């Protein structure tokens, strides 16, 4: 079943007339995106990527996965930003499907974190995937040095060739040079797909397949989403409706979007979403600030702010139609807590009622909200969800009048850091 979008709790803030008024702008954004006429068009290869992924690539990756799963019991995925968040989001979303645990390196510069990682890996048979377009991004480059040294002390040169995999530029960059010189297995990051859109390239496909995820189903979901969300008609395209609602609310002073989920396995989907939207939209003094909440836990910490704080917020709930498992609430003879009323019900029944109650309460408190529902927690529906958000942010960026596919501001901290550590190049 396709993704569902419930806009009922936008009433009182947006009208059908608002959507009709913005429809021509959405059509213009669609045309710019699909005909490569907009800013950053050189990085829009992700738009039709699902339909272009060759079967030969999938077979190659799955063959490698079978070999790795025979000789390893741990994966180390080295990357940051788009080379980390999509993988982590998929791993958490599909936790029960994982055959090899994934450890992460290079997503921070903490000595304690990386020292503890090496302690964890000491007794493991390790395969490492290093993911970087250039090979010179500070965090993964330094982590790769550390992990590579660890593996050189643990394995022979011949064995290392089987245990280090590079995902990088086709022709240039430090990591490409390392792969060529050391004879390492490598995969290519397409030039026309930026990092935060790269989860359906080898950036995501390689580590996920090695971990045990069904990447054929993952791609299939994204392919169906590509078809589903290619319609230029705003009234028929849910990804465009989501983008339009965000833009309309932004123009009414709602400058912060909170993505709230009631499912722990979706927390890192929200982290991936924050990069996707924050890095894509925040240009030229514009942009919606993307935040996230992990509910119901955060209702007991930030719930007060959501209910009665400054009214510059709108909310999007990310929900699952079905849980993978059931757990029945037992009856208690004394019923001291007065919850026998839900005895025999599945816990997810109460979870969904908590979401419905939260959505109503927040609406009454002045927070317009939408609900996105993913029917099942499997690889197919995750591929669909990733593409839904990618398509929405492309349209959203063009509605804002910015280039959604660059990130010039990201370089600012790097320049200052390089000066402070004495790096010249």
Strands, sheet with 313-320, edge to edge from the N-terminal-most edge strand? 4-6, 369-374, 313-320, 256-261, 289-294
Task: Mark whether 114 is an active-site residue.
Answer: no
Q: Which residues of 238-251 are buried (b: 16+ CB within 10 A; e: fewer)?
A: bbbbbbbbbbbbbe
Give the β-pairing of 313-320 and 256-261: parallel
Q: Show Cβ contacts of residue 150 under 8 Å, excluding neighbours closer than 6 positions.
A: 118, 121
Q: Which residues of 275-313 are buried (b: 16+ CB within 10 A; e: fewer)?
A: bbbbbbbbbeeebbebbbbbbeebbeebbeebeeeeeeb
Burial zone of 56 (CB within 10 Å; 0-12 exposed, 13-18 middle, 19+ buried): exposed
- List the catalytic residue out of 158, 300, 338, 425: 300
Task: Mark whether 300 is an active-site residue.
Answer: yes
Task: Mark whether 381 is an active-site residue.
Answer: no
Rounded distance between C-alpha atoms, residue 49 and residue 239, angstroms: 17
Cα R_g (the chain), whole angstroms? 23
- List the catalytic residue out of 257, 279, 315, 390: 279
**Residues belonging to the active site:** 279, 300, 414
């Amino acid at each position: 079943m396709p993704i569902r979008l419930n806009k009922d709790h936008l009433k009182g803030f947006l009208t059908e007339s608002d959507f009709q008024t913005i429809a021509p702008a959405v059509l213009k954004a669609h045309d710019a995106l699909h005909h490569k006429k907009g800013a950053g068009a050189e990085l829009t290869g992700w738009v039709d990527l699902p339909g272009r992924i060759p079967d030969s690539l999938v077979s190659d990756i799955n063959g490698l996965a079978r070999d790795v799963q025979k000789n390893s019991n741990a994966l180390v995925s080295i990357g940051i930003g788009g080379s980390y968040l999509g993988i982590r989001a998929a791993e958490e979303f599909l936790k029960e499907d994982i055959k090899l645990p994934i450890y992460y390196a290079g997503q921070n510069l903490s000595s304690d974190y990386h020292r503890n990682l090496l302690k964890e890996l000491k007794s493991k048979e390790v395969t490492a995937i290093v993911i970087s377009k250039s090979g010179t991004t500070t965090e993964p480059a330094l982590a790769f040095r550390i992990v590579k040294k660890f593996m050189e002390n643990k394995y022979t040169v011949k064995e290392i060739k089987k245990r280090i995999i590079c995902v990088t530029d086709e022709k240039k960059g430090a990591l490409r040079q390392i792969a060529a010189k050391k004879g390492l297995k490598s995969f290519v990051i397409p030039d026309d797909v930026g990092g935060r859109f790269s989860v359906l390239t080898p950036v995501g496909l390689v580590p996920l397949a090695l971990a045990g995820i069904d990447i054929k189903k993952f791609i299939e979901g994204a392919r169906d989403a590509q078809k589903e969300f290619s319609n230029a008609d705003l009234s028929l395209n849910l990804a465009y409706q989501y983008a339009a609602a965000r833009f309309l609310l932004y123009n009414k002073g709602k400058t912060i979007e909170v993505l709230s989920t009631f499912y722990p396995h979706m927390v890192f989907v929200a982290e991936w979403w924050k990069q996707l939207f924050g890095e894509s939209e925040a240009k030229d003094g514009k942009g919606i600030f993307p935040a996230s909440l992990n509910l119901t836990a955060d209702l007991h910490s930030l719930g007060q702010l959501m209910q009665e704080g400054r009214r510059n917020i709108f909310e999007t709930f990310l929900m699952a139609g079905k849980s993978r498992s059931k757990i029945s609430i037992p009856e208690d003879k004394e019923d001291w807590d007065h919850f026998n009323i839900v005895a025999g019900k599945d816990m997810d029944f109460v979870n969904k009622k908590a979401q419905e109650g939260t959505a109503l309460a927040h609406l009454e408190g002045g927070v317009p909200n939408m609900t996105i529902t993913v029917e099942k927690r499997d690889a197919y529906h995750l591929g669909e969800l990733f593409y839904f958000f990618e398509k929405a942010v492309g349209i959203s960026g063009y509605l804002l009048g910015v280039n959604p596919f660059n990130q010039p501001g990201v370089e600012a901290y790097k320049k200052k850091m390089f000066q402070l550590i004495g790096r010249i190049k």
